[in-house]
């Protein structure tokens, strides 16, 4: 009998390999690349390091939107005329930045410094102009901070919720009601 068992092939199924988990930071460059290229950014470094590039004061109310690269030059043998004010200037990229309208003048005055800092980060003189668009900039999200709720407000809310049998639910609702009541008191003052 031992020989019969030994001669039978292993009938246990092979364990399935689980897909490896990856860090989100490793996946993001591949996911963002098409959108960034569409906006003219070769990589996300300009966006990610914007606060370091322009400084915290300007980064607070400015956001880089896109980099517009110049079209390829017409060949030397071609007879197509180069006309217009933009073609006469140096053919560099244009960095488009949005800022709150109240700070547009400040951004314009700092444009030379911004262009120098961006070009230093890129490693060559790629960006030659800064275009400022006035608009709303997204507000950075701040970490949620839990407010201190007075014990008196919580006990007053618990007294109103005596009908609820579940203690945990009653406690949660009392804290919620006390938080709303505390917020109401601050707005009325």
Q: Which domain holds residue 104?
A: 32-72+85-134
**Same domain for 166 and 130?**
no
Residue at 164 is within a domain: yes
Percentage of residues in the chain with pLDDT exceeding 90?
A: 8
Q: Give the total number of structural domains in the chain.
A: 2
Q: Which of 115-124, 131-140, 142-151, 177-186 has the highest mean pLDDT?
A: 115-124
**Same domain for 54 and 107?**
yes
Q: Which helix (H) or strand (E) holds 25?
A: helix 24-38
**Same domain for 92 and 167?**
no
**Same domain for 120 and 179?**
no
Bridge partners (DSSP) of residue 127 are 93
Place of tokens 């019969």: 4
**Same domain for 39 and 95?**
yes
**Same domain for 158 and 111?**
no
List Cβ neighbours of 56 (8 Å cut-off, separation of 6 or more). Answer: none
Looking at the predicted structure, is the pLDDT value of residue 123 above 60?
yes
What pLDDT digit, counting tens, does each position of 69-121 carry? 887 665 555 555 455 554 445 578 888 899 888 888 999 999 999 999 888 88
CATH for 64: 3.30.300
Cβ atoms of residues 108 and 132 within 8 Å:
yes
**Same domain for 127 and 159?**
no
Residue at 144 is within a domain: no
User: Rounded to 5 degrees, what are φ and ψ at 17?
Assistant: -80, 130
Residue at 130 is within a domain: yes
Residue at 44 is within a domain: yes
pLDDT for the residue numbered 142? 58
Looking at the predicted structure, is the pLDDT value of residue 12 above 80?
no
**Same domain for 65 and 117?**
yes
pLDDT band of residue 11 (cuts 50, 70, 90) is low
Residue at 23 is within a domain: no
Residue at 3 is within a domain: no
pLDDT for the residue numbered 35? 72
Place of tokens 């009938």: 11
């Amino acid at each position: 009998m031992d020989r019969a068992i030994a001669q039978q092939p292993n009938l246990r199924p092979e364990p399935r390999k689980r897909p490896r988990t990856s860090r989100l930071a490793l996946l993001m460059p591949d996911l963002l690349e098409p959108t960034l290229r569409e906006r003219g950014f070769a990589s996300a470094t300009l966006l990610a390091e914007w606060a370091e590039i322009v400084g915290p004061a300007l980064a607070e109310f400015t956001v880089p939107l896109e980099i517009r690269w110049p079209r390829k030059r017409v060949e030397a043998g071609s007879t197509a005329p180069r006309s217009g004010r933009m073609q006469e200037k140096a053919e560099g990229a244009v960095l488009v930045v949005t800022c709150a309208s109240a700070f547009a003048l400040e951004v314009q005055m700092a444009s030379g410094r911004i262009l120098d800092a961006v070009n230093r980060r890129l490693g060559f003189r790629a960006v030659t102009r800064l275009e400022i668009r006035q608009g709303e900039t997204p507000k950075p999200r701040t970490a949620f901070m839990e407010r201190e709720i007075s014990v008196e407000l919580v006990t007053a809310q618990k007294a109103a919720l005596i009908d609820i049998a579940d203690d945990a639910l009653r406690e949660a609702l009392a804290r919620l009601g006390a938080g709303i009541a505390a917020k109401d008191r601050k707005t009325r003052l």
